[in-house]
Amino acid sequence: MIMKTFALKKENVDRQWFVIDASDKILGRVATKIADRIRGKDKPTFTPHTDGGDYVVVINAEKIKVTGEKFNDKKYYNHSLYPGGLKTKTFREMNEKHPERIIEEAVKGMLPKNKLGKSMIKKLKVFSGPDHEHESQQPIEWNPKI
């Protein structure tokens, strides 16, 4: 008996919305769970070349935790592509000014580095406070075991 390999097509993707509260959760552990959910790796229909993941809304991004001395030592780099254009910010500075970008950067680093990854990261919505603007999508409360 010949068995066929299943390949998910983009027309057959069933997407859901999930909301996760990042309060007192560790950055790397929650980012891996979010990346898996956005990519669709937690579904039995996972296909590497198809965007079959779900939407994820993250709230309370400013309350995310890191272990060890990363709160003061972890650095984020940005370069303007001009000589001498390297700018660095610590985790503390990013958490004060743009706490959403911390989670976005962590999840983006775990996705494929191609057009597929760029379309996947658009399914991540991060908010620094407890409120978000996606109530009309009726997101499901999601508390992954971390």
Any domain includes 121: yes
pLDDT (mean) for 55-80: 96
**Cα–Cα distances in angstroms (integers) from residue 111 to residues 33, 41, 62, 118, in the given order:** 12, 11, 22, 8
Any domain includes 34: yes
Any domain includes 93: no
Res 137: pLDDT: 94
Count: domains in the chain: 1
Whether pLDDT at 4 is above 90 = no
Any domain includes 55: yes
Q: What single letter denotes the amino acid at residue 92? A: R
Domain at 104, CATH number: 3.90.1180.10
Any domain includes 7: no
Any domain includes 9: no
pLDDT tens, 87-146?
Answer: 999 999 999 999 999 999 999 999 999 999 999 999 999 999 999 999 999 999 999 887
Res 130: pLDDT: 94
Any domain includes 56: yes
User: Residue 135 sits in which domain range?
Assistant: 15-65+99-141
Of residues 144 and 37, more confidence is placed in 37
Instruction: Kindly tell me the burial class for residue 39, based on how many C-beta atoms sit within 10 Å of its own C-beta (0-12, 13-18, 19 or more).
Output: buried
Res 142: pLDDT: 94
Any domain includes 38: yes
Query: What are phi and psi for residue 32, nearest 5 degrees?
Result: -65, -40
